[in-house]
């Protein structure tokens, strides 16, 4: 900027010296036009440089995170009470809405009963394993006795002391005993599989009942909708008698979060040539005339809707956007005012590392904008 001022001063001094002091040339209308035209181009230096070195924008707004409050209930449920006033500041975890919890309390009780029954069934399965083991032992004993009798009657039949018919009877008893052992072993295996069926050391039927109980307890907990963060609800329309749940097609309220407000401003693409993260920013808000907020560039969103293409069968066509496309810049306010409302507009100026001497012009401009808010818009 100093060089620009020196050039401008030198040019004015040259005109004064040539036309008025030394009077080497006569200051005619033609020379007046030429001098003015050349001087006007010098003045453009003070317009162009701040546009790139200290870009500014009046297309900005305060952004606050908002949460759409959607009750997570599995079926239509009656809203019993609204526990918060509109625009009243609340802390995280504060109850906001109370829904009818009776049916969910009943389901929790039912799930607890099913869990108790499942735990009791595990004891029954253990008893079944013990009982089937006794059946296997008895079947083995019957087989051993039948085997001994078959051996005894085979010896007696060879000596003529027993008939072949008696031998065949015991051989049939041995076959029956062997079949009984196989059946008992199969029943024992089945009982063990039912008893030992588990997930992470918990019987599957008990685990299923526990999961059902946890789900029903979750739905019971959701009958009280609490604040997800510090903030407030604006435009509160939900009233007792409203039925929600089942098919969730929309939120019943919007919760405005108090923490981490930021500024989103749009700039012409060419003006972001020297803008980088971490550079200082000054912000003038329409709701705070005469006050300048300090900020920092947090991110430059180098993307616009014109750069997005959807899959389709038609070939893309290109048209020059009017007005020319802009890129948004996310700016973090260093010391945010808790009363900064979402959607507040104003003006921002980014001070890059280039051409810092021109920043005085931008600082004067943004302060003029801030103090001008005392008068603009003019009342009529």
Q: Please indicate, yes or no, whether residues 354 and 296 belong to a single structural domain of this protein.
A: yes
Say how far apart CA 322 and CA 319 lie, in whole Å.
9
Give every residue of the chain whose pLDDT is below 70, as ranges.
Answer: 1-28, 31-46, 122-132, 135-136, 139, 141-143, 145-146, 149-168, 170-172, 174, 177, 180, 183-198, 246-249, 321-323, 337-338, 378-380
How many Å apart are CA 355 and CA 10, to the nearest integer? 21
pLDDT for residue 265: 94
Q: How far is CA 174 from CA 102, 135, 138, 169, 336, in A?
A: 64, 16, 13, 9, 93
Cβ 209 vs Cβ 39: under 8 Å: no
Rounded alpha-carbon distances, angstroms, from residue 167 to 145, 154, 176, 179, 301: 14, 6, 14, 19, 97
Yes or no: say if 100 and 77 are a contact pair by the CB < 8 Å rule.
Answer: yes
Q: Are residues 241 and 326 both part of a single domain?
A: no
With respect to residue 196, please indicate whether it lies within any of the assigned structural domains: yes
Give the model's pLDDT for residue 312: 78
126 and 27 assigned to the same domain:
no
Residue 216: predicted pLDDT: 93
pTM of the prediction?
Answer: 0.68
Please give the Cα distance from 371 to 289 (Å, whole number): 5
CATH number (domain holding residue 268): 2.40.30.170
Q: What is the CATH number of the domain that holds 94?
A: 2.40.50.100
pLDDT at 3: 47
Q: Does residue 120 sit within a domain?
A: yes
The tens digit of pLDDT for each residue in 266-276 reads 998 888 989 99
Q: What is the pLDDT at residue 248?
A: 61
**One domain, residues 172 and 241:** no
What is the domain count for the chain? 4
Do 378 and 301 sit in the same domain of this protein? yes
**pLDDT computed for residue 2 by the predictor:** 43
- 48 part of a folded domain: no
Q: Which domain holds residue 367?
A: 56-64+261-306+319-380
């Amino acid at each position: 900027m100093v060089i620009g001022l020196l050039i401008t001063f030198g040019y004015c001094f040259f005109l004064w010296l040539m036309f008025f002091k030394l009077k080497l040339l006569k200051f005619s209308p033609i020379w007046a036009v030429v001098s003015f035209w050349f001087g006007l181009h010098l003045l453009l230096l003070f317009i162009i440089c701040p546009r790139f070195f200290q870009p500014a924008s009046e297309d900005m707004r305060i952004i606050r995170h908002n949460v759409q409050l959607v009750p997570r209930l599995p079926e239509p449920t009656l809203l019993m009470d609204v526990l918060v006033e509109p625009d009243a500041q609340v802390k995280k975890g504060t109850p906001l809405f109370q829904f009818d919890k009776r049916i969910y309390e009943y389901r929790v009780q039912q799930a607890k009963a099913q869990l108790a029954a499942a735990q009791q069934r595990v004891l029954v399965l253990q008893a079944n394993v013990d009982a089937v083991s006794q059946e296997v032992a008895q079947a083995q004993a019957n087989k051993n006795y039948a085997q001994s009798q078959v051996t005894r009657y085979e010896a007696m039949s060879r000596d003529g002391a027993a008939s072949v018919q008696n031998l065949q009877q015991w051989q049939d008893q041995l076959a029956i005993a062997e079949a009984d052992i196989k059946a008992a072993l199969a029943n024992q295996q089945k009982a063990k599989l039912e008893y030992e069926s588990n997930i992470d050391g918990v019987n599957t039927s008990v685990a299923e009942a526990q999961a059902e109980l946890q789900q029903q307890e979750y739905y019971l907990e959701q009958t009280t909708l609490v604040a997800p963060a510090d903030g407030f609800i604006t435009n509160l329309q939900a009233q007792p008698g409203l039925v929600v749940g089942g098919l969730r097609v929309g939120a019943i309220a919007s919760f405005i979060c108090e923490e981490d407000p930021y500024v989103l401003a749009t700039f012409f693409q060419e003006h972001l040539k020297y803008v980088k993260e971490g550079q200082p920013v000054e912000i003038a808000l329409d709701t705070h005339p005469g006050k300048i907020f300090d900020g920092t560039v947090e991110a430059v969103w180098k993307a616009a809707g014109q750069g997005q293409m959807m899959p389709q069968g038609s070939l893309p066509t290109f048209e020059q956007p009017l007005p020319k496309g802009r890129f948004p810049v996310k700016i973090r306010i260093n010391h945010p005012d808790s009363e900064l409302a979402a959607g507040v507009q104003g003006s921002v100026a980014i001070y890059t590392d280039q051409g810092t001497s021109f920043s005085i012009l931008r600082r004067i401009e943004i302060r003029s904008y801030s103090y001008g808010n005392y008068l603009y818009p003019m009342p009529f």
